[in-house]
Structure 1
Amino acid sequence: MGRAGEVRRRDATERGTGQDGRELDLQQYFPYRLARLAEQVSLAVAEVYSERFTLTRQEWRVLAILGARAEIATKEIGPLTTLDKMQVSRAVQGLQARGIASRKHHPDDRRELIVSLTPAGRALYRKIVPYALARETELLSVLTAEEVKVLDRVMHKLSAALS
C-alpha cells in the first residue's frame, strides 16, 4: 500500500470510520448482531435445561456431548463445546457431584481423565433431548424450510472461513 493509502487509513482511524467513510453502528454491526442472536438463542434453550433440570449452560453442553458417545477425554470436550478447560472441569465436577457423570483415569495416561454418563445421566439425557429438539423446532419455525437450509449453509461457510 502506498503513502496515500496509509494516510487514508490513518485519517479513517482517527475519525472512527472505515476507509470507505462509513461509521460503525453497533446495532447494525454483524459480529455484534450475531453475538446477540446467539445469546438470545442460548437463553431460550436454557429454559429447557435450567428450569426443568437445574443444569448450568456448561453442564448442559457437557451432558449433550457425553450423551452422544460412550466416553470422552476431558481435553476433547472443550473444542466441541466452546468451553475453556476450567469451565469443562467445573461442569464435569458438577455433573459428577449429582451422580450424572463419572470420571476415571485414562489407562495409558494417568494425567488424562475420561468422562462418561452414569445410568442416571443417560436417563436424564434421554429425558432432556425431546425438550431440546422441540425448542429447536420452535425457534426455527419462523423460517421456511429453504431459509433453514440457507442458514445452515451460511453458518458452515462462515465457520469454515474462520477456521
Structure 2
Amino acid sequence: MVDQSLRLDAFLPFRLSVTSNLVSETIASTYQALFGLSVPEWRLIAVIAEDDGTTQQLIARRTRMDKVSVSRASIALAERGLIERRPHVSDRRSQSVHLTKSGRELYAAVAPKALELERRIFERFAPADIASFSKMLLQVQEATLAVREEG
C-alpha cells in the first residue's frame, strides 16, 4: 500500500512557497530600510526600467501580482514622484507608466543592491547548479501554466 499522506515539508509546492516568501521577506526588509520601498513597488520600478511605457496590466501579468497590488504600488510611486502615467499611444483607454528622473535614479541605486543580495544568497552554490535551478524554475512555471490551462 502506498502512503498517501501529505507531509508539508516534503510537498514541493509548499517548500517552493516557503523559500520564495523567505527570499522576498529578506529582500523586502532591505529595500524598505534603505529605500522605503515595498516589494511590489520595487517590482514595478524594475519592470518599468526594463520596459519603459508598459501598462499596469502587463506588469500584473509579468510579475503574477494581482491588479490591486499593482495599482496600489503604482499610486504610491506616482505620489512619490518616481513614476508618471501617460495616455497609452495605441490604446487611449489605457495608460503607460514611465520612470521619472527620480525613479531612474532610485533604480540605479537599488539595482546594485538587488544584485548584491542575489550574489550573497547564491554564492554557496556552484554556477552549474544555479543554471540548472534557473532552468528548472522556468520549467516549473511552464508546467504550472499547462496544468492551469487543462483545468
Give the partner amino acid of 2:46: A
Structure of larger gyration radius: 1
Give the partner amino acid of 2:37: L
8 Å Cα contact 1:100/1:118 also seen in 2 = yes
8 Å Cα contact 1:75/1:85 also seen in 2 = yes
1:76 CA displacement: 0.7
1:43 CA displacement: 1.1
1:1-163 equivalent positions in 2, closer than 5 A: 20-163=2-145
Partner Cα separation in structure 2 for residue 37 and residue 56 of structure 1: 18
SS of residue matched to 2:104: helix
1:20 CA displacement: 2.6
The size of the alignment, in residue pairs, is 145
Query: Relative to 1, partners in 2 of residues 1:67 and 1:23: Cα closer, same or farther, differing over 3 Å?
Result: same
Give the partner amino acid of 2:94: E
Divergent runs of 4+, >3 A: none
Partner Cα separation in structure 1 for residue 57 and residue 135 of structure 2: 29
> If the length of structure 1 is used for normalisation, what is the TM-score?
0.84
Partner Cα separation in structure 2 for residue 162 and residue 69 of structure 1: 25
Cα displacement string for residues 87-142 of structure 1 (whole angstroms, at most 9, x for unaligned residues): 11111100000000000122443320110000000000001000000000001112
Partner Cα separation in structure 2 for residue 50 and residue 145 of structure 1: 30
SS of residue matched to 2:105: helix
Query: Relative to 1, partners in 2 of residues 1:101 and 1:146: Cα closer, same or farther, differing over 3 Å?
Result: same
Structure 1 unpaired stretches of 5+: 1-18
8 Å Cα contact 1:48/1:132 also seen in 2 = no
> If the length of structure 2 is used for normalisation, what is the TM-score?
0.90
Identity of aligned residues (%): 30
Partner Cα separation in structure 1 for residue 89 and residue 129 of structure 2: 47
Give the partner amino acid of 1:37: T
Query: Relative to 1, partners in 2 of residues 1:144 and 1:108: Cα closer, same or farther, differing over 3 Å?
Result: closer
- When the two chains are superposed, the root-mean-square deviation of aligned CA atoms in Å is 1.4
